Each structure stands twice: as C-alpha cells, then as structure tokens.
Amino acid sequence: MTAASEHLAREQQLLDEYAAGDHPRKRLVWESERALVVSQLDAHLPRFMDAMRASAAEGWPVTLRKTGGSAVAIGPGVVNFSVVDSWRGTQPTLAYGFDLVCTPVIRALAHLGVTGTTGAAPGAFCDGKYNVLVDGRKIAGTAQRCTRRGPGGALLAQAMLIVDADPAELTSAVARFYERAGSDRTFDARAVTSLARCLAGQVTGSLRETFVNALTSEDSVWEALSGA
C-alpha cells in the first residue's frame, strides 16, 4: 500500500498543473498506509518535532498537507477522495469547493441506505461545518485549497471517509499527537462513526469496494456540479 505522502504529492502536482491552464475536472480515490496528516499550522506547535517522532514510533508517521483544517488519522479502512478543478475569472467560494466532495459522498451513502448531512460534530478530530455526518456523528472530513495564477487558478477539495477503521483508534492517534505537541485540544471518539457501524453487517464482501463503486457510479453528479 502506498504512503499517504505520495498521494498528497500527486494531488499537489495536479493542483499546480490545473492552475496553469484549463483541464477537465479530475477525481481521485485512494487508500494509504497509516499516517497522521497535519496542516501547516500544526507544524508550529511548540513540541511538534517531538510529537512527530513519537507518532512515527507508534506506527503513525506524520505528513504535512497544504489544505486547511487540523490533524487527521488515515490508513487502511479510510477512503480518501479528492477533486481537482480549474477555474477562470471569479474565485470559487468555500461552499462550492466543499460541495464538490460532500455531495458525491452523501449520494454514495444514500446508495447504501445511509442518510448523510453536513455540519459540525463537536469533539471530533478536525471538526468543521463541512463534515459529512450520520446521525450527528462525523463519518467524513473535508479540506480544500484554492490557488490563483493570472486570470484564474485551481481548486483542490479533499474528503476522507471512515469505512471500517476504528473511530476510537483514529481519535486516539490524533489526541496523542496533539498532547505531545503541546496543544490543549481534546477529542471524543463518540463524535465519530464509520460506515461499517452504520450498516452493521448489511453488506457482504468488501465494504470499501462497495462504497467506492457507489461513489464513482454516477457521472451525472459531475455534470450537476460543473458550474462555479
């Protein structure tokens, strides 16, 4: 399985290419080895280097991302979904960027009989008003970055959805990182859920493949979101 840093580097490469000219919208779906993905702000915490070394020793290597938000834990059982899009003229709004990932995720969940909404989940790691929630618990987190180059630019929107990874384990990895880094952030694993918990054994076979197939099956989703 590929390291998260390689996937993030690929997304950044695409963002740079799309900022330089018009390209058809591209979507990426990937899964990686275990990692803590942190923002540039996290790197300024007083004991960041100590936390990074301790996390890596526990099997959670730390990698930086250039999108916003705070630390997230990913790995097997977490599906990552991103969209890269060129734009010209008026810069897209934050709501537009988050809709690029939230709407397909919510529609994919609906295919599986799970009702998703967007909103905050107090206590969840990397909480924000553009989480995807099921019954008030965070099942997917989102982040984005918009760049300008000349008359236009490019947008990268990201989502990570917990398929069958353990929400408590993910939350604990993030909490330990922040404690070691000198942050006073606190988290509650009960604010986070997974697709496996929502479906409670209703799907046979690979739950990851089932979700990814649902996520990528409707090309009409991309047509509906084509306008900025």
- HSE toward the beta carbon, residue 109, CA cutoff 13 A: 27
Amino acid at 102: C
Packing angle, helices 48-57 and 167-181, rounded to 10: 140
The yes-or-no answer on residue 126 being catalytic is yes
| Residue 41 zone, left/alpha/beta (φ > 0; ψ -120 to 50; rest) | alpha
| Active-site option among 102, 126, 146, 198 | 126
Alpha carbon distances (Å) from 195 to 45, 109, 164: 32, 8, 6
Q: Active-site residue numbers? A: 126
